[in-house]
Amino acid sequence: FRVEDSAGSSNTVSLDIQILTTPVSVDFVADKLCGTAPLTVNFSEMVAAASNVSDWQWDFNNDGNTDATGPSASYTYNAPGVYSVKLTVTVNGQPVSCVKEDYIRVFAANTVTWTGSAGNGDWSDTANWNPNQTPDKDTDVVIPDGSGTVQLSADGECRSIEIGSGVTLNTQGHNLKVYGDFRCEGEISLGGAELILAGSGLLYSVSPIENIRVSGHYAAGSNLSIGGDISIEQDASFEGRHYVIALGGDFTNNGTFTHQVPGLPNADAESEGGWWFCNYKEGDCPDSNIEYSETYTNNPHGGSNCVHFKGDGSYLWGVWFVGRVVSIPSYASSANLKFWSRYWNDTWGGGDVYLYDGDLGEGNPNPQHIADFPRNSSGSWTQLTCDLTPYIGRTIWIGYWGPQYSLGHWNRLVPMSDHGKEWATDDWEIEVDGKVNGQGLISHGVLHFNGLTHQEIKGAPQYEQFGVLWVGGKSLGGGKDNYEQTELVVPAGRVVRAAFVEVFGRLVLSHNSVLELGGEAYGGILRIADLCGMLVTNSAAGSEPVIRAANTCKDSHRFAFTLLYSGQLDVNGLVLSGSDENGLYFLSSTETNYGTRNLKLANVQFTNTREGGVHLRYKGRENLTFDGCFFDDTFGATGHNVWTCGDGSKGNSLTFTNWSGSGGGEAYEKEDTDAGKINW
């Protein structure tokens, strides 16, 4: 730069300016959040950053001193107290920190055990406890297996609680406040009241919980079924990690919510936090054909559990799968899937590996078959490796499922002739840059809105990152599917970020609401599923909801996000925005003749896509019309814009009416010689 004074004398100085890339977010998780001293806790980093991270410094009590280094570390807390934890990561020479206040709580031993000696089942009667004292916020509660019913006659509290199998804790409409871990192997009935999580700990329950309020720092320790609402207060946090959380009411977040974890556990039992196993069932079909079994675990490397599939009924409607949604960050250089499989029959046709990312095969969004399970009638275990390098920078669903075109299709997978034929699979894992289930992979959990009613995402969050949002009351593990009845509303002005959104019910985007897809280093997907799924907007000009990319990466993945539909669209006012470098993908995903569907799109703006452009590939059989669309002219002639209209022999057409902007008409490229007609 040049400096000149009032007399005209000047001097010129040259400087080297280095623009450093730092992560947008630094996070970490701990395997325990509370416990009795001495308490050993394992910590793992979760950094959305380039791969050139040079240093990790852990301060486990936030006293300014480094206690450990490396992407993961362990620490033992010997003294009772409440501890804040700080992680400082160095990226390109620049330190970036994350502090979690009051994250770890360490207690002195103080346990009361239920005896029920008074015979009245009353929580507040000291004669029912050993020692004889009523639980309070400084006592750990143990209710042993088979203890029957324990009742609250007033609001109760405890430090941590273990509810054994064969126990029913009935609060009779009173709140229960817990300051440590909540672990339930039995049942809890709140009678419309709340379970209040006020300290730090893990939430584990094999049975449904009605309403949960989080005022401290908690993490899921199992799949959870919440029949009513969950609310997170300001300065509180909840980590969904990689678990499925089924929610029957509203989700309100005024604090912090994350639904992802670094790495990926092996695919052992669901209860141990492995991959999520689902057996969709519809109508008159046999009991679940999926077993979590230790009977079939004699694989060469000693997995502790596996999932076992068996054709034991006349047929099974629906979809079998064992899978997970993960994101492979764009800075990775290689990725592989590895798993073990064992077959008991040579001919049964189910059992292949599929991958689905909504942006595969240039217009073919159906799950891609990437490998066959090894068939081996001798019953020996075989390991299979699949290359996932082409999917770096993408959010993907990966796993096993049967031979149907998409998640919404129902096929008979086990005909009568295949009774008794079976196979098992165990220990699925993903290796990124040579690290198995470690750094370089993000594993997402599922928030399943299944209330069969009107539900909302509310609050003004301090931070929020959903993994998978699943809209629709589709049964996970049994029961009749009534997904059409679920309506999830994103209220006016609310911003929702998720890696993957799967809509089997109705997703309503209100005025000025925002749906961000993907993360800082990976693209995302919005999928409106077959027949039953519907995207609804109805906003005037200037207040349209926005679907946009969360990332602004210029890297290997082609699209910032994908909007994929084979369901219904009732859209009046919507802004679709890619990132500065990567475009967006708007795609009809089916060639199936569904008859008349609701496909109304009006006043859609394609904006801020630039070099990536817009890719719209229409494969439906109906005549699809976009009315009043605006095409952002910032990408102009440089945008790689593709408009395709499937197979013209199926009688479809794609029509744009009342469009504006410099990108319409012949400025766009038409592909496929047999494509249906595109009308401008």
**Consecutive 10-residue runs of the chain (680 residues): their mean pLDDT?**
67 61 71 93 77 85 94 93 93 85 93 94 96 95 96 96 96 97 96 96 95 96 92 96 89 95 53 40 38 47 54 43 74 82 53 62 53 59 82 78 38 44 67 73 86 92 92 57 76 94 91 90 81 86 90 59 78 81 64 58 75 66 78 54 63 77 54 68
User: Residues with Cβ < 8 Å from 375, sequence gap 6 or more?
Assistant: 343, 345, 346, 347, 351
Neighbours of 550 (CB within 10 A): 23
- The rounded distance, in Å, linking the Cα atoms of 417 and 428 is 29
Where along the chain do its domains lie?
25-107, 111-210, 270-436, 491-679
Fill in the DSSP letter of residue 186. Answer: S
- Give per-residue burial for 66-92: e unless 16+ CB within 10 Å, then b: eeeeebbbebebeeeeebebbbbbbbb
Counts for the chain of helices (H) and strands (E), in that order: 0, 65
CA distance 345 to 364: 31
Instruction: Enter the DSSP assignment of 465.
Output: E
Residue 2 dihedral angles phi and psi, to the nearest 5°: -120, 135
Q: Are 320 and 401 in contact (CB under 8 A)?
A: yes
| Domain 25-107 in this protein, CATH class | mainly beta
The pTM assigned to this predicted structure is: 0.85
Q: What is the pLDDT of residue 460?
A: 96
CATH superfamily placement of domain 270-436: Galactose-binding domain-like (2.60.120.260)
Residue 588 CB-density burial (10 A; 0-12 exposed, 13-18 middle, 19+ buried): buried
Predicted local distance difference test score (pLDDT) of residue 627? 86
Measured distance CA(407)–CA(621) in Å, rounded: 20
CA distances 375 to 291, 309, 346, 411, 417, Å, are: 20, 14, 5, 22, 18
Cβ neighbors of 370 (< 8 A, separation 6 or more) are 353, 354, 355, 386
Note the pLDDT of residue 482: 56
Report the pLDDT value the prediction gives residue 383, as an integer from 0 to 100: 78
Compute the distance between CA of residue 32 and CA of residue 652 in angstroms, rounded to an integer: 56
